[in-house]
Chain A
Amino acid sequence: MRATKARRAAAKDDADADRWCPRAPVLDLMYPSRTARCCLFSKHRRDSSSPEIGGTGSWPEVGDNLGGVSDEATALFVDRLTKVYADGTHALNALELRLPAGSFFGLLGPNGAGKTTLIGSVAGLVRAPAGRIFVFGHDAIADARARLLLGLAPQEIHLDRFLTAREVLVYHGRYFGMRRSDAEERADELLEVFDLARKARTKPHRLSGGMRRRLLIARALVHRPRLAMLDEPTAGVDLELRHELWRYLRRLQSEEGLTVLLTTHYIEEAEALCERVALIRAGRIVAEGTPGELVDRYGGERLEDAYLEAMRA
Chain B
Amino acid sequence: MSTVELRVAQRRGTVALTGREVRRVFSLWTQTILPPVLTATLFLAVFGGALGERIREIEGIPYVEFILPGLLVMTVASQTFGNNSTSLFQAKSEGYIEDVLTSPLRPWQLALAYMAGGLVRGFVAALAVLALAWPFAGGIERPAVALVSLGLTGLVFSAVGVITGVWAETFDQHSFIASIVITPLALVGGVFYSARTLSEPWETLTRFDPLYYLVDATRAGFTGFHESPLWLSLVVTALVALALFAAASALLARGWRLKP
Chain A contact residues, CB within 8 Å of chain B: 52-54, 57, 59-61, 85-86, 120, 123-128, 144-145, 147-148, 150, 152, 154, 156, 158-163, 171-172, 174-180, 219
Residue A124 contacts which of B24, B94, B101 (CB distance < 8 angstroms)? B101
B10 touches A154 (CB 8 A): no
The 8 closest A-B CB pairs, nearest first, are A177-B9, A158-B95, A174-B16, A60-B1, A144-B104, A147-B104, A175-B103, A127-B259
Q: Is B57 part of the contact surface with A, judged by Cβ < 8 Å? A: no
Contacts A174-B12, A179-B12 known; A125 to B259 CB distance under 8 Å? yes
B12 touches A177 (CB 8 A): yes
Q: Is B20 part of the contact surface with A, judged by Cβ < 8 Å? A: yes
Inter-chain contacts of B105 with A (CB < 8 A): 144, 175
Inter-chain contacts of B23 with A (CB < 8 A): 162
16 A-B pairs whose Cβ atoms sit less than 8 Å apart in the complex: A53-B9, A59-B1, A86-B260, A125-B98, A125-B259, A148-B6, A154-B98, A158-B94, A161-B94, A171-B20, A174-B12, A174-B13, A175-B99, A177-B9, A177-B12, A177-B13
Contacts A147-B103, A150-B102, A152-B102 known; A177 to B94 CB distance under 8 Å? no
Residue B104 contacts which of A57, A86, A176 (CB distance < 8 angstroms)? A176
Report the separation of the CA atoms of residues A86 and B260 in the bound assembly, to the nearest whole angstrom.
Answer: 8
B99 touches A123 (CB 8 A): no
A172 touches B104 (CB 8 A): no
Inter-chain contacts of A124 with B (CB < 8 A): 101-102, 259
Q: Which of B1, B94, B254, B260 has the largest count of A CB atoms less than 10 A from its CB?
A: B1
B10 touches A219 (CB 8 A): no
A219 touches B102 (CB 8 A): no
Report the separation of the CA atoms of residues A234 and B240 in the bound assembly, to the nearest whole angstrom.
Answer: 49
Q: Which of A60, A161, A176 has the largest count of B CB atoms less than 10 A from its CB?
A: A176
Q: Which of A61, A145, A177 has the largest count of B CB atoms less than 10 A from its CB?
A: A177
B96 touches A161 (CB 8 A): yes
A145 touches B1 (CB 8 A): yes
The distance from the CB of A152 to the nearest CB of chain B, in whole angstroms, is 5
Binary A-proximity of B85-114 (CB < 8 A = 1, otherwise 0): 000000100111011111111100000000
Contacts A123-B102, A162-B24 known; A176 to B260 CB distance under 8 Å? no
The distance from the CB of A88 to the nearest CB of chain B, in whole angstroms, is 13
Report the separation of the CA atoms of residues A123 and B99 in the bound assembly, to the nearest whole angstrom.
Answer: 10
Residue A52 contacts which of B5, B15, B24, B96 (CB distance < 8 angstroms)? B5
Report the separation of the CA atoms of residues A111 and B20 in the bound assembly, to the nearest whole angstrom.
Answer: 36
A160 touches B96 (CB 8 A): yes
Residue B260 contacts which of A85, A123, A163 (CB distance < 8 angstroms)? A85
The distance from the CB of A203 to the nearest CB of chain B, in whole angstroms, is 11
Please give me the residue from chain A that is nearest to B95 by CB atom.
A158
Contacts A175-B99, A176-B9, A177-B9 known; A145 to B16 CB distance under 8 Å? no
B1 touches A148 (CB 8 A): yes
Report the separation of the CA atoms of residues A99 and B27 in the bound assembly, to the nearest whole angstrom.
Answer: 44
B:227-260 near A, CB below 8 Å:
254-255, 259-260
Please give me the residue from chain A that is nearest to B1 by CB atom.
A60
Inter-chain contacts of B132 with A (CB < 8 A): none
Inter-chain contacts of B6 with A (CB < 8 A): 144-145, 148
5 more CB-based (< 8 A) A-B contacts, given A125-B98, A158-B99, A160-B96: A147-B104, A152-B102, A171-B16, A175-B13, A175-B103
